[in-house]
Amino acid sequence: WSDLTRDDIQVITANPKTSGGAKWNILALWGSVTQARGTPEAAQTFVESVFRRVPVLPKDAREASDVFYKQGQGNVLINYENEVILASQKGDKQPYVVPTDYNISIDNPVAVVDANVDKHGTRQVAEAFTQFLFTPEAQKEFAKVGFRPVEPTVEAEFASQFPKVEKLFTIKDLGGWKEVDTQFFADGAIFDQIQAKISQSK
């Protein structure tokens, strides 16, 4: 993570005000400090240092990929692991690094919405589909397009594709989404403070 603060580096990441992916990027940076027992002040200083090397803030993760791969801006792209793997599969092969000391698990929840399935009489098929997503068959398909499998046998099968992370933390470790959104992404919160400080120093 610390390489992202080098003076010879320009970092491409999306804007967390418009991109869910960019929120994860900031939280990964932040957590790489706090999960290693660093203080919130040290984490904010680190995130600010990285964002001083961000020349442009694309609106979402896919646009950030385009800025990096197609427009050739920046030396480093912070993005979802699966986006990088997908770009590689499409011919945009670039070396990539997964920080394996500390990293954040980006979980993609699935739910059966009672009101909808009851209204349409689709509960049985919806529940069956939800269960299917966690089978080896489905997990292999996810792994093929860059999503880390959670089913143990598939995880073992694709282990060479996904470097093992020593400390994989979650949004819960940072207080949960309600707290995180208020602390980091609300108007005047940490991200705005960082951007204001960067603007003032230009």
Confidence of residue 151 (pLDDT cuts 50, 70, 90): very high
Whether residues 159 and 194 fall in one domain: no
Whether residues 32 and 99 fall in one domain: yes
Whether residues 175 and 150 fall in one domain: no
Whether residues 30 and 122 fall in one domain: no
Whether residues 9 and 80 fall in one domain: yes
Q: What is the model's pLDDT at position 201?
A: 84
Whether residues 36 and 65 fall in one domain: yes
Whether residues 93 and 180 fall in one domain: yes
pLDDT tens, position by position, 39-52: 999 999 999 999 99
Whether residues 46 and 146 fall in one domain: no
Q: Residue 80 above 90 pLDDT?
A: no
Mean pLDDT of the chain: 94
pLDDT tens, position by position, 162-179: 999 999 999 999 999 999
Average pLDDT over residues 84-113: 89
Task: Report which secondary-structure segment, H or E, holds 23.
Answer: helix 20-34
Q: What is the model's pLDDT at position 102?
A: 96
- Calpha distance 68→98 (Å, rounded): 17
Tell me the pTM. 0.88
130 lies in which domain range?
Answer: 108-164
- Calpha distance 109→94 (Å, rounded): 29
Q: Between the CA of residue 113 and those of 138, 178, 189, what are the distances in Å?
A: 21, 21, 33
Q: Residue 65 above 90 pLDDT?
A: no
Whether residues 53 and 146 fall in one domain: no
Whether residues 91 and 120 fall in one domain: no
Whether residues 45 and 128 fall in one domain: no
Confidence of residue 91 (pLDDT cuts 50, 70, 90): confident
Sign of the CA dihedral with 170 first, then 81, 71, and 32 last: positive
Average pLDDT over residues 50-57: 96
